[in-house]
């Protein structure tokens, strides 16, 4: 789609609603809680997504500490990929989306030769193993192999994902450079939580109030809902949101969010929520100068530079920060890029 005159306004509003502008959140768990779920299959870079939304944060240590202490959890939810979620939100969110994602994985499980009986057996063995404390993937591999379940190749990933989606396990504290898993109930508070329409309403509100302006099709993709379910969820919170009609689409957002001052340069990981949380309207990122797809490897540059919420180029963490931009910058834009690069250079990617 050709960049629209509406795109800059929408992009700046998203920058503010997502917590990338406007002072930041008071800590890593608050940043994750604000967004409800933060895509995190690349843990090293997803940590930077969180840190950028924390007030004044430049170091990795507060994010790593929150993760190690279980104030931020990492598990499969919403879609068949990892997300960060806070313990306060994970139980109701998993109740809502876990069975959906698990059912959608049926063809993948079949390719892995994992039938329902094998998955149930693996889940029970994994749950029993973590009941005694945190376990690494290699330790879970040994448990499953000893039981004759042959967790070779991708089968281990399938077994672990099923255990996550059925609320048996989630992330535990790192052990050196290794990730661990712990019992879901040991780190996620008990309680009935949200269900049914209450859960759908909360999901819709948390999405549109933190990622708006966005369309209902954007929401359906991000939340893993069918189109009718997404429309019904939007209807539950419609009166709390404001519509904006542009580009033959209807965008929804929380009226309390206003665009911030310009210019603002952000160095975002390729799977940052500003990039990945939209499907139909991801083209809002594009400008006349920057029409490249935001997701992809461009000669080793995988991550994106955005100016006021729109694409400006790519970056990579090498000898500080290296950037490749699509056009020359004004003095104010160059100063904003320098400030963003200095902040990023202080973060440890590992």
Tens digits of residue pLDDT in 126-153: 999 999 999 999 999 999 999 999 888 8
The pLDDT of residue 3: 62
The pLDDT of residue 2: 53
The pLDDT of residue 172: 98
The pLDDT of residue 147: 96
The pLDDT of residue 101: 98
Asked if the model's pLDDT at residue 335 lies above 90, the reply is yes
The pLDDT of residue 298: 78
> Could you report the per-residue pLDDT of 30-81, keeping only the tens digit for each?
999 999 999 999 999 999 999 999 988 778 899 999 999 999 999 999 999 9
Average pLDDT over residues 77-99: 97
The pLDDT of residue 152: 87
Asked if the model's pLDDT at residue 248 lies above 90, the reply is yes
Asked if the model's pLDDT at residue 256 lies above 80, the reply is no
Residue 325, beta-bridge partner list: 313
The pLDDT of residue 260: 72
Tokens of 26: 């008071």
Average pLDDT over residues 308-316: 96
Is residue 5 very low, low, confident or very high in pLDDT (cuts 50, 70, 90)? confident
C-alpha closest to that of 220 among 78, 104, 337: 78
Q: How far is CA 204 from CA 80, 115, 283, 312, in A?
A: 19, 33, 21, 30
The pLDDT of residue 296: 83
Asked if the model's pLDDT at residue 123 lies above 90, the reply is yes
Q: What is the rounded (10 degree) CA torsion for 339, 320, 53, 254? A: 70
Average pLDDT over residues 2-25: 87
What percent of the chain has a predicted confidence (pLDDT) above 90? 84
Residue of higher predicted confidence among 43 and 263:
43
Average pLDDT over residues 296-310: 90
Asked if the model's pLDDT at residue 207 lies above 90, the reply is yes
What distance in Å separates the CA atoms of residue 50 and residue 60, rounded to the nearest whole number?
10
> Could you report the per-residue pLDDT of 155-174, keeping only the tens digit for each?
999 999 999 999 999 999 99
Going by the DSSP 8-state scheme, the letter that residue 259 receives in this structure is -
Is residue 227 very low, low, confident or very high in pLDDT (cuts 50, 70, 90)? very high
What distance in Å separates the CA atoms of residue 310 and residue 302, rounded to the nearest whole number?
16
Average pLDDT over residues 341-348: 92
For residue 112, give every residue at least 6 positions away whose Cβ sits within 8 Å of its Cβ, in sequence order, or none.
153, 154, 155, 158
Asked if the model's pLDDT at residue 119 lies above 70, the reply is yes
The pLDDT of residue 73: 98
Predicted TM-score of the model (pTM): 0.95
**Is there a contact between 16 and 257 (Cβ–Cβ < 8 Å)?**
yes
C-alpha closest to that of 75 among 66, 67, 84, 88: 84
Average pLDDT over residues 172-198: 94
**Mean pLDDT value across the chain:** 94
Tokens of 305: 């530079």
Burial (0-12, 13-18, 19+ Cβ within 10 Å), 189: exposed
The pLDDT of residue 167: 98
């Amino acid at each position: 789609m050709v960049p629209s005159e509406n795109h800059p306004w929408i992009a700046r509003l998203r920058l503010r609603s997502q917590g990338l502008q406007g002072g930041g959140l008071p800590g890593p768990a608050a940043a994750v809680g604000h967004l409800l779920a933060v895509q995190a299959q690349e843990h090293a870079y997803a940590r930077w997504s969180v840190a950028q939304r924390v007030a004044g944060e430049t170091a990795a240590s507060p994010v790593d500490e929150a993760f190690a202490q279980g104030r931020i959890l990492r598990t499969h939810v919403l879609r068949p990929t990892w997300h960060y979620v806070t313990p306060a939100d994970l139980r109701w969110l998993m109740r809502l989306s876990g069975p959906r994602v698990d059912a959608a994985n049926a063809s993948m499980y079949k390719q892995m030769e994992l039938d329902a009986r094998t998955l149930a057996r693996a889940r029970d063995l994994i749950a029993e193993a973590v009941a005694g404390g945190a376990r690494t993937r290699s330790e879970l591999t040994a448990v499953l192999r000893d039981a004759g379940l042959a967790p070779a190749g991708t089968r281990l990933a399938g077994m672990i994902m099923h255990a996550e989606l059925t609320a048996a396990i989630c992330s535990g504290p790192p052990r050196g450079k290794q990730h661990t898993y712990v019992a879901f109930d040991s780190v996620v508070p008990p309680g009935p939580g949200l269900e049914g329409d209450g859960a759908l309403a909360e999901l819709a509100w948390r999405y549109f109030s933190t990622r708006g302006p966005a369309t209902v099709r954007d929401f359906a993709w991000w939340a893993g809902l069918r189109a009718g379910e997404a429309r019904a969820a939007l209807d539950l919170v419609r009166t709390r949101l404001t519509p904006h009609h542009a580009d033959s689409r209807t965008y929804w957002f929380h009226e309390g969010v206003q665009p911030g001052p310009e210019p603002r340069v952000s160095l975002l990981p390729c799977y940052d929520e500003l990039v990945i949380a939209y499907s139909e309207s991801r083209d809002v990122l594009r400008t006349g100068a920057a029409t490249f797809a935001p997701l992809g490897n461009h000669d080793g540059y995988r991550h994106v530079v955005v100016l006021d919420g729109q694409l400006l180029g790519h970056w990579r963490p090498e000898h500080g920060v290296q950037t490749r931009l699509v056009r020359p910058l004004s003095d104010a834009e160059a100063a904003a890029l320098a400030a963003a690069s200095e902040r990023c250079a202080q973060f440890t990617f590992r």
